[in-house]
């Protein structure tokens, strides 16, 4: 067994839609997951932003952040992330600033570059960061980036900007598994002296006590991803759907492209893979994203990981 480094586990939630699940169902399952992971000892709970998706119900991360803050007691909660090209930075600052004032020390503001053309992205981020600093000047969470601002990246282009601002940097491993070490190194090289900054790695992972079920849950995620790549945006397939599915050659090809970015297996196997990734990227926090059609499988996966890492005692705040 590998020795366990001090490693925080967090959650990236997309409110996944299973077959025969309504968006309202998916959002309620998100709240249930937040309460569960709060009790388990996870560190953060972030919400992604998607629009017009048949796979995800999470289109308003600011609203879900507010709801989860009211339904939990210790999690750091935030957006992972707000697609800033769609919005005016002053409005984002006012919306998230309201939550910062109501829940000091518990709010993260994660920002993504996606959502449309972004020729002025750097300036919008700088404006947002300054406004957050003004709003939360007396909210200095230990070990957290000033302004509670995090930039999300997958290709490395936002890493220097995050470092220059002293913001945190969250790298999406499941988008670009080979680019993480270089992007995080670039971030650290640009990090302003005297700023704590912060790094974390976002990983797509799933586990189950039964190895066969863990393998099936991973295959269901890969089938979903392959279909999406091929233009078929649909809910996460149930295991019964997977069992009777006749894979096309194109689906096999697309699934193989994503297989290396999906961490799965028994709880012990996933634990060892996450430790290896954390070491390779020089991070002490891994944010886990799990997509299953059955919300009970998702809850169980996070519960099993929490037990493997003893997240209640990984860090004593």
pLDDT tens string 216-250: 999 999 999 999 999 999 999 999 999 999 999 99
- Is residue 218 domain-resident? no
Per DSSP, the residues of 128-173 read HHHHHHHHTTT---TTS-GGGEEEEESSSTTHHHHHHHT-EEEEET
Q: How far apart are CA 99 and CA 64, in angstroms?
A: 11
CA dist 17 to 81, 97, 121, 201, 291, Å? 19, 30, 31, 24, 9
| Burial degree of 116 (CB within 10 A; 0-12, 13-18, 19+) | exposed
- Report the length, in residues, of the chain: 317
The rounded mean pLDDT for the chain is 94
CA dist 54 to 29, 153, 250, Å? 16, 24, 21
Q: How far apart are CA 237 and CA 219, in angstroms?
A: 10
CB 297 within 8 A of CB 264: no
**pTM of the shown model:** 0.95
Strands 199-207 and 44-47: unpaired
| Burial degree of 287 (CB within 10 A; 0-12, 13-18, 19+) | buried
Within a 10 A sphere around the Cβ of 161, how many other Cβ atoms? 20
- Is residue 195 domain-resident? yes
- 52-61 pLDDT, tens digit per residue, is 999 999 999 9
Is the pLDDT assigned to residue 138 strictly greater than 70?
no
- Is residue 106 domain-resident? yes
- Is residue 239 domain-resident? no
- Is residue 241 domain-resident? no
- Is residue 96 domain-resident? yes
Is the pLDDT assigned to residue 140 strictly greater than 70?
no
Q: 306-311 long-range CB contacts below 8 Å, 24 or more apart?
A: 306/9, 306/37, 306/40, 306/41, 306/42, 307/267, 308/267, 308/268, 308/270, 308/271, 309/4, 309/7, 309/9, 309/271, 311/8, 311/9, 311/40, 311/41, 311/42, 311/43
| Across 264-280, average pLDDT | 97
| Burial degree of 228 (CB within 10 A; 0-12, 13-18, 19+) | middle
DSSP letter, residue 86: G
- Is residue 107 domain-resident? yes
Q: How far apart are CA 272 and CA 220, in angstroms?
A: 22
Per DSSP, the chain holds a count of helices (H) and strands (E) of 11, 9
Domain hosting residue 271, numbered range = 8-204+264-309
Q: How far apart are CA 86 and CA 290, in angstroms?
A: 26
CATH code, 269:
3.20.20.30
CA angle 307, 37, 106 (to 5 degrees): 125
Q: Supply the pLDDT for residue 2.
A: 41
DSSP letter, residue 84: G
Pair of tokens at residue 19: 């077959």
- 165-201 pLDDT, tens digit per residue, is 999 999 999 999 999 999 999 999 999 888 889 999 9
Q: How far apart are CA 291 and CA 30, in angstroms?
A: 12
- Is residue 40 domain-resident? yes
Domain total of the chain: 1
3: confidence class by pLDDT, cuts 50, 70, 90: very low
Pair of tokens at residue 39: 């009790």
List, in order, residues 6 or more apart from 309 with CB less than 8 Å away: 4, 7, 9, 271
């Amino acid at each position: 067994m590998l020795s366990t480094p001090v490693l925080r586990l967090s959650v990236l939630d997309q409110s996944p839609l299973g077959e025969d699940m309504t968006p309202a169902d998916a959002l309620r399952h998100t709240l249930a997951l937040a309460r569960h992971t709060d009790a388990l000892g996870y560190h953060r709970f972030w919400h992604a932003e998607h629009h017009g998706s048949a796979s995800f119900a999470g289109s308003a991360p600011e609203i879900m952040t507010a709801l989860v803050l009211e339904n939990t007691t210790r999690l750091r909660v935030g957006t992972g992330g707000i697609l800033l090209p769609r919005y005016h930075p002053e409005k984002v600052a006012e919306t998230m600033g309201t939550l910062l004032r109501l829940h000091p020390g518990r709010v993260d503001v994660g920002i993504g570059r996606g959502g449309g053309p972004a020729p002025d992205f750097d300036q919008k981020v700088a404006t947002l960061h300054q406004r957050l600093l003004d709003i939360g000047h007396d909210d200095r969470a230990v070990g957290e980036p000033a302004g509670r601002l995090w930039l999300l990246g997958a290709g490395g282009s936002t890493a220097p900007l995050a470092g220059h601002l002293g913001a945190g940097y969250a790298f999406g491993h499941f988008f670009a598994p080979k680019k993480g070490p270089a992007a995080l190194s670039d971030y650290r090289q640009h990090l302003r002296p005297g700023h704590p900054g912060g790094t974390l790695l976002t990983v797509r992972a799933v586990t189950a006590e039964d190895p066969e079920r863990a393998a099936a849950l991973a295959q269901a995620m890969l089938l979903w991803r392959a279909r999406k790549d091929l233009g078929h945006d649909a809910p996460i397939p149930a295991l019964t759907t997977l069992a009777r599915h006749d894979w096309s050659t194109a689906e096999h090809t697309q699934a193989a492209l994503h297989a290396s970015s999906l961490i799965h297996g028994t709880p012990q196997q996933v634990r060892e893979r996450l430790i290896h990734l954390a070491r390779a990227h020089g991070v002490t926090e891994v944010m886990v994203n799990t997509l299953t059609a059955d919300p009970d499988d998702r809850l169980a996966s996070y519960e099993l990981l929490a037990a493997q890492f003893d997240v209640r005692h990984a860090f004593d705040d």
